[in-house]
Amino acid sequence: MTTTPRINEQENVEETVHAKKGDTKELDLSELKKELAIEEAEIERVKRFKKQEEKNETNQSDNAAVKTSLEETKPQEKQTTSPQELRDARRKYWQEKQKEEERHRKPFHNFPSFFYAGFWLRLFALLIDLLVIWSINRLIVQSLFLVLRYPLSEESFSAFSLSKLAVYLLYFIVSTKWTNGQTIGKIIFGIRVVSFKEEKLSWGTVLIRECFGRYILKIFPFIYLMVLFTREKQHLADFFGETAVVSENLVRASELSLKEE
C-alpha cells in the first residue's frame, strides 16, 4: 500500500517537470519569432530609408543637371536674340583672321600704314639719286669715253648708253645692299627699303628690286604712280621683291617705345 502512492507521486512529479519543459520550449519559440519579426521590420525600415536617400540624391542630381543646362542655354539664347553681338563676334573673328594672315604674309617689318613713305618723299629722294648718277656719268663715264676717243652715242644699245645704264643699276644695287636699304637720296630724306620676308636685305632681294625692277621702272616711269594707290605705298619693284619703303624716324621711335615698355 505504501509503495503505490509513492509511485504515483513520482509519476506526478515527472509529468509536471515535462509540462514545465514544454512551456519553456513554447516560450522560447514565441520569443524567437518576436525577435525575428522585429529584426525583419528593422531591416525593412533601413531598406526604405536607403531607397529614400537614393531617390533624394537622384532628384538633387537631376536638379543640378537642369540648372547647368539652363545656365548653358542662357548665353545661347542671348546670342540668338541679339544680332548685334553676333555681328561683333563675326567682326572680331575676321579681324583676328586677317591679322594672322598678315603675320604669315609679313613676318618682318609689319608696320602700320602711316609708317610707309609716300609718293612725294620718294620722288624727291629719287631726284637726288638721279642727280648723283648724272654726276658720276658726267665726271667718270663721259670723261673716260673722251679720253679713249669712243663715240658718245645716245642710241639704245651703244657702248655709251649701256655704260650709263650699268652705272644707273650698279648705283642702286651697291648702295642699297651696302647701307641695308638706303641710297644717298633716301639717307637725306630719312627713308629706307625693308623686306617683309627677311630681317636684312639679301642679295637676291636687292637684285630683284634694284636690277630687274629698277630697269622696268626706267623704261616705264609712270609705274611709280602705283605708290599712290597701294596700302604699303609699293610700286612694281617693291611687289617683285616683297619690299616697301618706310620712314626711318618712325621705325626708330617705335623701337624705342617698345624698349621702354
Contact in structure between 167 and 136 (CB atoms under 8 Å): yes
The structure's pTM equals 0.62
Mean pLDDT of all residues belonging to the chain? 81
Cell 630697269 -> residue: 215
The pLDDT-based confidence of 220 (bands split at 50, 70, 90) is very high
pLDDT of res. 80: 54
Relative to beta strand 191-195, strand 243-247 is: antiparallel
DSSP alpha helix (H) spans, 106-247: 119-136, 142-148, 159-178, 184-189, 203-207, 214-219, 236-241
75 vs 224, higher pLDDT: 224
Residue 151 · residue 160 · CB < 8 Å = yes
**Phi then psi for 245, rounded to 5 degrees?**
-110, 125
Average pLDDT in the 202-230 region? Answer: 94
* Lowest model confidence (mean pLDDT) among 24-38, 142-156, 228-242: 24-38
| pLDDT value at residue 184 | 97
Mean pLDDT of 133-143: 95
Tell me which residue of 140, 121, 92, 82 sits closest to 233, measured CA to CA.
121
Q: What single DSSP character describes residue 116?
A: B
User: Collapsing DSSP states into helix, strand and coil, what is residue 108?
Assistant: coil
Mean per-residue pLDDT for 222-240? Answer: 92
Cell numbers describing residue 190? 630719312
CA pair distance 160, 150, nearest whole angstrom: 8
The listed range with the strongest mean pLDDT (74-88, 99-113, 171-185) is 171-185
Integer Cα distance of 231 and 210 in angstroms = 21
Residue 6: Cβ within 10 Å count: 9
Q: Once rounded to an integer, what is the mean pLDDT over residues 169-192?
A: 96
Which set of grid coordinates corresponds to residue 135?
A: 654726276
Q: Helix, strand or coil for residue 228?
A: helix
pLDDT single digits (tens) 61-105: 666 665 666 565 555 444 455 787 777 787 777 777 766 766 666
Q: Measure the CA–CA gap between 238 and 216, rounded to whole angstroms.
A: 12
**Phi and psi of 247, rounded to 5°?**
-80, 120
Q: Write the burial class of residue 210 (CB in 10 Å: 0-12 exposed, 13-18 middle, 19+ buried).
A: buried
Per-residue pLDDT at 129 exceeds 80: yes
The string of DSSP codes covering 59-91 is: HHHHHHHHHHHHHHHHHHHHHHH-HHHHHHHHH
